[in-house]
């Protein structure tokens, strides 16, 4: 059985490009893997991490268990639930929308509280031998040669966390100019945005097939 965990964080609902790309990725993976795939999902926009959960769980780590407050006990249990979902998976699909030049607050809150669980603490490498697929979408243009090249402070941070801190084999499916069709000032970029999106969906399908093949071959070995 190949276990997949999908995380969504976009606040744009059905208009979300990161969700659409994650759909393509997940559909390809599950289609290629067939009955040996299981999927767990968490939607941080619909069910965000409570704002006090991280501080409660983090501070609980400095207090003997018998001295923790009821709120700290609940926060630690909540962190354990989130960690259980991620730790059980062989493949992570992380929908990573780009807001205000960085990672979304929902994703950051999820990662902060995840790291309070001992399985995801720095140095533990919980992702060793596993795969993380980051689906990054950016509303504007941040590629090399654009005026805001270098302003993407979200994607490199996510790669650092998943690859270097957690130890996952980390890959990126990305697109940008996602707001072109909704922003009059970007109207001249609509065609380019559509090209970016089409290539990203192709990349998502290719990644899904390749990753599925890795786990299929491993199961057959």
Secondary structure of residue 20 in the 3-state scheme: helix
Provide the percentage of residues in the chain whose pLDDT is more than 70. Answer: 99
Indicate if the pLDDT at residue 179 is higher than 90: yes
Total tally of structural domains belonging to the chain:
1
Q: Write down the number of H helices and E strands in the chain.
A: 6, 6
Instruction: Give the residue numbers spanning the domain of 31.
Output: 2-220
Going from the C-alpha of 61 to that of each of 65, 79, 81, the distances in angstroms are 8, 12, 16
pLDDT number for residue 29: 96
Q: Phi/psi zone of residue 72: left (φ > 0), alpha (ψ -120 to 50 degrees), beta? A: alpha
Q: How far is CA 40 from CA 82, 89, 92, 93, 205, in A?
A: 11, 8, 10, 10, 20
Q: pTM for this structure?
A: 0.95
Distance, CA of 19 to chain centre = 11
Task: Output the pLDDT for position 221.
Answer: 64
Domain CATH code at residue 211: 3.40.50.360
């Amino acid at each position: 059985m190949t276990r997949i965990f999908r995380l969504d964080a976009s606040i744009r609902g059905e208009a979300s490009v990161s969700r659409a790309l994650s759909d393509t990725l997940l559909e390809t993976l599950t289609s290629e893997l067939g009955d040996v795939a299981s999927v767990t999902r968490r939607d941080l926009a619909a069910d965000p991490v409570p704002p006090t959960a991280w501080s409660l769980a983090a501070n609980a780590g400095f207090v003997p268990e018998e001295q923790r407050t009821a709120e700290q006990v609940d926060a630690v249990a909540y962190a354990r639930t989130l960690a259980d979902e991620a730790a059980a998976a062989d493949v992570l699909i992380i929908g990573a929308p780009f807001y205000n030049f960085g990672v979304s607050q929902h994703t950051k809150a999820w990662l902060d509280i995840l790291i309070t669980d001992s399985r995801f603490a720095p140095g533990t490498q919980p992702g060793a031998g596993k795969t993380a697929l980051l689906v990054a979408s950016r509303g504007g243009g941040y590629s090399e040669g654009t005026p805001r090249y270098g302003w993407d402070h979200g994607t490199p941070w996510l790669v650092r966390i998943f690859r270097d801190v957690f130890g996952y084999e980390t890959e990126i499916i990305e697109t940008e100019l996602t707001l072109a069709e909704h922003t009059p000032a970007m109207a001249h970029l609509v065609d380019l945005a559509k090209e970016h999106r089409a290539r990203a969906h192709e990349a998502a399908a290719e990644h899904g097939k390749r990753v599925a093949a890795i786990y299929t071959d491993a199961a057959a070995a």
